[in-house]
Amino acid sequence: MTYSNINRDKIQTGWRLKVKNGILSLFLIVVIIASLSNVIEQTKTLNEAKKINTEIEMKNTLIKEEIENLRQKIEYATSSAYQQRRARQFLGLGNESDRWLILPQIDENINIGQKFFEGSDKPNLIKWWEMFLN
């Protein structure tokens, strides 16, 4: 081997080594970028999942409060106080200790306003004045 052959082998070996190192560096950069991209996407997904989880927990809390409210309403609706109030309100039933007042019937044909304003040619302002202040 001559000196030129040795130099050529070193140049070819150095060139191959540079290409090999360049390809490995490029591959390493691609792997690092892909890993960072994956970490960023997972972080976004995690934040969205936390947000959705918070919304679901709030809805769950509202539903639990509504269930408790309905449970209390059911307990009240089955109580004797509620049943007595409904019997008074809709059926007109009362207790033995209740006192009833019977009011006289009101004649529905009498209209106080018409009776007061019949046959009057006075202006409305004077009619109102007389009705409320006299």
What's the average pLDDT block by block, 10 residues per block, for the chain (134 residues)?
56 75 93 96 96 97 97 90 83 76 72 59 79 76
Q: Where are the domains of the chain?
A: 3-95
Q: Would you say 70 and 76 are in contact if contact means Cβ atoms under 8 Å apart?
A: no
What are the backbone angles phi and psi of residue 105, rounded to the nearest 5°? -70, 140
| CA 1 to chain CA centroid, nearest Å | 86
| Alpha carbon distance 47, 41 (integer Å) | 10
Check residue 86 and give its pLDDT: 85
Task: State the pLDDT at residue 102.
Answer: 80
